[in-house]
Structure 1
Amino acid sequence: MRGDSAQYVAGRLVSAAVLLAALSVVVYAGVDLLPGDPATARLGTDATPEQVAAVRERLGLNEPLGRRYLEWAGGLLHGDLGTSANGTSVTDMLDGRLGNTAVLAALTVALLVPASLALGIALGRRAGSRADGTGSTLLLLTTAVPEFVVAGVLALLVGAQLGWLPATSLVPPGDSPLAHPDVLVLPVLSLLWVSLAYATRVVRAQTLVALRAPHVEAMRLNGIPERAVLRHGVLPAVLPSAAQIWLISAAGLLGGTVPVEVVFNYPGIGKLLVSSVSTGDLPVVQALAMIMGGLTLLATIAADVIGAAVGRTRSV
């Protein structure tokens, strides 16, 4: 059985490598096909054809797409994310910003895990009750509201109108966002909005399945206290599926932070991504798209491995 598990994990790792390679092709070609010319976007509409041609030559845009991709992919393998259109290393541009975004994602996940687990199990135990019906309806409605809408409402109401928290998440250059916790509250709540609703619904569904399992019913018939039933009978059955959702949510948060960061003017990758797209700074856009897509892909594969490992364990 251990050999089968190791073989499965090895297979998934090979699949991950193949998918990452395919993702790099899609990212590079897709970003390259974005409307507009990076040279014109950088110089402005008043630039002369000679100036545009010189910039295109300097940026290597006259080279065939395949050759440019191979050079870019080779750099990725050596940890080189490329050079921005302004001549700055993309790695240097992401330094700090990527960490700031990771802080938002980590804080959101740290709240998501216990909140979704507690709320999902509570609703699952009360399935069919008025509380469950009301809670499930609210969760369903919550998933229909995008994070940037929640962010805008919170910034306007809690920040601008009530003044309880900063409406903009400005962090002094060189400082960690953790040194200014008040600027993190509203962005984290905005990100938690949809993630919590989705994860809670999954935990609730798994709780219902676990509560109907024969071993849980046997525990109750034997007079085992409800708290012990939940701890030893329900929780082990719920956690694997919950862990899968938490992993995928964590990876998705790196991309989900973009609109929220823009709303709150938070110094993460969001503002950099938007400005890079508007100015046609392709190396930055390609690097960010590859990072976000790669992390989401790896998290999804990790979730598959967890699910398969649990399935094999239960079958023993």
Structure 2
Amino acid sequence: MSVQDAEATPPTPPEESGPAPGPIADARRNPWLAWGGWLVRRLGLAVLTLWLVSILVFLATAALGDPVKAILGKDAETAGGRANQIREQLHLDQSLWERYWHWLGGLLTGDPGTSVANGYPVGQLIGDRVLNSAVLVAVAAIVIIPLSFGVALLCARTRGGRVDQGIQVVLLTLAGLPEFIIGIVLVAVFSTVVLHLLPAVTISAGGDSPWAKPGSMILPVATLVLAVAPYVIRIMRSTLLEVLDSDYVELARLKGVPEKVVLRRHALRNAIVPGIQVIALQLAWLAGGIVVVEYLFSYPGVGASLVDSVRNSDVPMVQALAMIIAAVYVVVNLVADVLSILCTPRARTAITA
């Protein structure tokens, strides 16, 4: 080959290096595949968590002793027919693990058992109670979220001032009080001693929902708001102050951007993800925290049913209600993780990378 031919021949382009074929390369080319894999893993962890919780709940209730003696008391030895009926209903003639698998199978098929105290299916008894508690938590969350963001913005805008210091004193005071103390104070102020504006307990006619009389829901909702909002406001305030001290916010100020715009467009937007996490944790806490509040105000929800079931040694009811509360925890945290990733571009890139 002559020199002219060698110069005329175009050079062979080097082979492009890229990801090896396989599921990782497919996930990089298709973001939906990466998202699907991440979601499947999270759902698998959620199912595993609930399964472990079911074992703990069942073992904890089994460790309480003989439920027949707990239910019948001193008459357990003489009430032969009733005692045998309860033993057959709770499958006490089987081994521990056989009882567990029988209970878990019924739980997965929508049949958590029959109430020992009432003789009715557990699902029928707790259906309306779960709805009532869900409404109570939803109303409290609708109040907590905008209130927390608004007060946190006010504190960040008046940092170190009298308004900020006064709000911090109130928040610290409320954070140091348990929810039943807050509820008792609200009842004393608005229902008994000072004012007579609101009912001290939830009033609902037979078969009616609690929200049929909205006035009787004000004190339970206010108790939950005052018990949860201080934690959310304080964390949101700290996050906003950290963002306001960052370099890019200072650059926006030097460019002449008004402080209201800086708070709304820069600080609040970057504080949303920590806010989602703390709100999710507090809403998950409400699933168990409403036990005290519902019992205090005689609210017909999951909390009051759980207290009555423990008092009556109604094992199937206690197990079903405990699993419902655990499921709320898991679902709320899963939703919070998804929302946090959707609001964080860096996290979305990390999943699809």
How far did 1:153 drift?
2.0
Decide whether the 8 Å contact of 2:191 with 2:199 is kept in 1: yes
**Which of residues 196, 200, 207 is equivalent to 1:167?**
200
Q: 1:58 to 1:15 in 2, by over 3 A?
A: closer
1:62 to 80, 84, 93: 93
Shift of 1:298: 2.3
Q: How many residues align?
A: 315
Amino acid of the structure 2 residue aligned with 1:187:
P
Q: The residue matched to 2:74 in structure 1 has which SS? A: coil
Pick which of 51-60 and 180-189 moved more. 51-60
Match of 1:143 among 175, 183, 194: 175
Q: Structure 2 residue aligned with 1:214, among 247, 251, 258?
A: 247
Matched residues in 1 for 2:301 and 2:337: separation? 29
Residue 275 of structure 1 is matched in structure 2 by 308
Higher RCO structure, 1 or 2 (CA under 8 Å, sep 6+): 1
* Residue 216 of structure 2 corresponds to residue 186 of structure 1: no
Q: Quick one: which of 233, 239, 260 aligns to 1:200?
A: 233
Alignment partners' CA distance in 2, 1:314 and 1:54: 56
Question: Is 1:12 the counterpart of 2:42 in the alignment?
Answer: yes
Residue 133 of structure 2 contacts residue 301 of structure 2 at CA under 8 Å; is this kept in 1? yes
Q: Which has the larger radius of gyration?
A: 2
Deviations 1:152-178 (A, max 9, x none): 222233112221100111211222222
Deviation at 1:113, TM superposition (A): 0.5
Q: 2:156 aligns with which of 83, 108, 124?
A: 124
What secondary structure, in the 3-state scheme, does the structure 1 residue paired with 2:242 have?
helix
Equivalent position to 1:133, from 153, 160, 165: 165
CA contact (8 A) 2:68 2:76 kept: no
Instruction: Say if 2:61 is the partner of 1:28.
Output: no
Structure 1 length normalisation: TM-score? 0.92
Between the aligned partners of 1:258 and 1:315, the Cα distance in structure 2 is: 37
- Report the equivalent of 1:40: 69
Q: CA deviation at 1:141?
A: 2.5
Alpha-carbon distance in 1 for matches of 2:262, 2:347: 18
1:8: how far off? 3.0
What's the Cα RMSD here?
Answer: 2.1
Whether contact under 8 Å (2:174, 2:226) holds in the other structure is yes
Aligned to 1:298: 331
Q: Which amino acid aligns with 1:132?
A: D
CA distance in 1, matches of 2:54, 2:61: 11
Is the contact made by 1:38 and 1:279 (CA closer than 8 Å) also made in structure 2?
A: no
Question: Matched residue of 1:45: which SS?
Answer: helix
Distance 2:147 2:222 in 1: 12
61, 79, 102: which is aligned to 2:110? Answer: 79
User: 1: distance between equivalents of 2:47 and 2:221?
Assistant: 32
Q: In the alignment, residue 257 of structure 2 is paired with which amino acid?
A: I
* Unaligned runs of at least 5 residues, structure 1: none
Distance in 1 (alpha carbons) for counterparts of 2:173 and 2:155: 16
Describe how 1:92-103 pairs up with structure 2 within 5 A: 92-103=124-135
Deviation per CA, 1:137-159: give whole Å up to 9, x if none: 32122112111111122223311
1:261-272 matched pairs, under 5 angstroms: 261-272=294-305
Give the superposition deviation at 1:44.
3.5
Looking at structure 2, the residues matched to 137 and 301 of structure 1 have their Cα atoms a distance apart, in angstroms, of: 34
SS at match of 2:75: coil
- What corresponds to 2:14 in structure 1? none
For 1:71, give the aligned amino acid.
H
Structure 1: distance between partners of 2:96 and 2:75: 27
Q: Deviations over 1:176-197 (max 9, x none)?
A: 2222110000010111112100
CA 1:58–1:99 in 2, change beyond 3 Å: closer, same or farther? closer
The residue matched to 2:230 in structure 1 has which SS? helix
Structure 2 unaligned residues grouped into runs of 5+: 1-27
Given the superposition, is the C-alpha separation of residues 4 and 129 from structure 1 closer, same or farther in structure 2, using an over 3 Å criterion?
farther
* 1:92-117 Cα deviation digits (max 9, x unpaired): 10121111111110110000000000
What is the rounded CA distance, in whole Å, between the counterparts of 1:37 and 1:195 in structure 2?
38
Q: What displacement does 1:61 show?
A: 2.1
> TM-score scaled to structure 2, two decimals?
0.83
How far residue 199 of structure 1 moved from its aligned partner, in angstroms, is 0.5
Task: Tell me the amino acid that sits aligned with residue 191 of structure 1.
Answer: L
